[in-house]
Amino acid sequence: MATSGSDAGGIVWADGLCKKYGKTEALSQLSFSVDEGEIYSIIGPDGAGKTTLFRILTTLLLPDEGKAGVDGLDVVADYRDIRRRIGYMPGRFSLYQDLSVEENLKFFASVFNTTVEENYALVADIYRQIEPFKDRRAGKLSGGMKQKLALCCALIHAPRVLFLDEPTTGVDPVSRREFWTMLKKLRDEHGLTVLVSTPYMDEASWCDRISLMQGGRFMQTDTPVGIVEAYADRLFAVMAADMHGLMTGLKACPLVATSFSFGAAYHVTLVPGATPDALRSWLTAKGYAEVGITEISPSVEDCFMALMKTSEK
Ligand code: ADP
């Protein structure tokens, strides 16, 4: 029975969540709400607080303050009922390494008093890809295969909401893409709500909405397009013959507001009134050769860096 109701209106919501480990504030007054059928991603680096949040939402950890709910139930009062309605794929261990693919799946089904056959339709597409290895021990599977099996195991009791904590960390780019395609299909064909955490900013485009997380807070929540559109500055990719030395030049330049290393270039914003031509002249006068400055569109990572800078002030 629902004891809390969802004031925030979403199938998953949190209101003023706080969690400390000693002096470390892992979650700080965190509030948000996820709509039914959304693919919602929490993106942030190591230590941002993603696992702590997921462990509270999946009823494995108690918050110090605040409230949260899943599917109309309270994470503290209704923890038993919530566990039946959610699938949780934790970041690290979730499979029994010594059990075969098939045994793992049967085991997870039995925990929820169901059978693989009963909910097979939900996992059929994914299971077909690992079926050739069904007798292999989980510990002997490749990263991508392990991830698919873990997803099947998290789905086998037909949950309403899926929580995936860094499911693509350490997985090769092709398997990562396949994984996101599977999540989209699960949402489209079975109406599942999916919460995913990831440190990879380039995965934002797969999601309906994202929250950029750092230091136990959400710095910004929006659609991936909305996040990028809210970027306020002009952004430039700057290169020179001596890329290593260029960083020193950019840090010393009074025309530069921010500069970060991004792949083969530095991404740079300028102080008010400064122009790219002025930057080029300044760098050239300092002896940098082959200076190239191109205005570029920001990525989610650029937005993240800009938000970090703002929150540092
Ligand atoms: P993420 O999943 O984004 O890497 P975590 O939720 O694991 O973030 O961690 C958030 C912060 O809380 C980090 O500073 C981490 O070191 C700290 N932390 C997490 N779990 C514990 C714990 N059991 N004991 C002490 N500190 C912890």
Residue 20 lies inside a defined structural domain of this protein: yes
Tell how far the Cα of 2 is from the centroid of ligand 1, in angstroms. 30
Pocket test for ligand 1, best of 52, 61, 211, 217 (most atoms within 8 A of CB): 52
Pocket flag, ligand 1, residue 281 (CB < 6 Å): no
Pair 133, 220 in one domain: yes
DSSP of the chain: --SS--TT-SSEEEEEEEEEETTEEEEEEEEEEE-TT-EEEEE--TTSSHHHHHHHHTTSS--SEEEEEETTEETTTTHHHHHHHEEEE-SS--S-TTSBHHHHHHHHHHHTT--TTTTHHHHHHHHHHHGGGTTSBGGGS-HHHHHHHHHHHHHTT--SEEEEESTTTT--HHHHHHHHHHHHHHHHHH--EEEEEES-GGGGGGSSEEEEEETTEEEEEE-HHHHHHT--S-EEEEE-S-HHHHHHHHHH-TTEEEEEEETTEEEEEE-TT--HHHHHHHHHHTT--S-EEEEEPPPHHHHHHHHHHHHH-
| Nearest CA residue ID for atom 26, ligand 1 | 21
Pocket flag, ligand 1, residue 52 (CB < 6 Å): yes
Yes or no: say if 266 and 248 are a contact pair by the CB < 8 Å rule: no
Pair 48, 154 in one domain: yes
CA dist 306 and 230 (Å) reads 11
Whether residue 75 has pLDDT greater than 80: yes
Pocket test for ligand 1, best of 42, 51, 56, 304 (most atoms within 8 A of CB): 51
159-184 pLDDT, tens digit per residue, is 999 999 999 888 888 888 999 999 99
**Tally of structural domains, the chain:** 2
Q: Indicate the residue type of 239.
A: M
CA dist 238 and 219 (Å) reads 27
CA dist 40 and 34 (Å) reads 7
Pair 157, 257 in one domain: no
Q: How confident is the model over 73-81, as a mean pLDDT?
A: 96
Residue with tokens 């566990």: 83
Pocket test for ligand 1, best of 17, 18, 20, 21 (most atoms within 8 A of CB): 21
Q: How confident is the model over 114-124, as a mean pLDDT?
A: 91
- What is the rounded average pLDDT for all residues in the chain? 92
| Nearest CA residue ID for atom 23, ligand 1 | 21
Bridge-based pairing state of the strands 193-198 and 39-43: parallel
185-222 pLDDT, tens digit per residue, is 999 999 999 999 999 999 999 999 999 999 999 999 99
Pair 221, 259 in one domain: no
Residue 107 tokens, joined: 């085991």
Yes or no: say if 31 and 63 are a contact pair by the CB < 8 Å rule: no
Ligand 1 atom closest to residue 27's alpha carbon, by position in its atom list? 10
Whether residue 7 has pLDDT greater than 60: no
Pocket flag, ligand 1, residue 59 (CB < 6 Å): no
Tell how far the Cα of 52 is from the centroid of ligand 1, in angstroms. 7
Pocket flag, ligand 1, residue 283 (CB < 6 Å): no
Residue 305 lies inside a defined structural domain of this protein: no
Whether residue 6 has pLDDT greater than 90: no
Pair 187, 283 in one domain: no
CA dist 203 and 77 (Å) reads 34
Residue 2 lies inside a defined structural domain of this protein: no
Pocket flag, ligand 1, residue 30 (CB < 6 Å): no
Range of the domain at 268: 232-297
Domain boundary among 189, 213, 228: 228
CA distances from 50 to 47, 170, 195, 223, 243 (A): 8, 17, 11, 19, 34
Tell me phi and psi for residue 129, to 5 degrees: -75, -25
Residue 313 lies inside a defined structural domain of this protein: no
Residue 35 lies inside a defined structural domain of this protein: yes
Yes or no: say if 135 and 180 are a contact pair by the CB < 8 Å rule: no
Pocket flag, ligand 1, residue 46 (CB < 6 Å): yes
- Residue 247 belongs to domain with CATH number: 3.30.70.2070
Tell how far the Cα of 311 is from the centroid of ligand 1, in angstroms. 20
CA dist 204 and 118 (Å) reads 33
Global pTM?
Answer: 0.91
- Residue 95 belongs to domain with CATH number: 3.40.50.300
Pocket flag, ligand 1, residue 21 (CB < 6 Å): yes
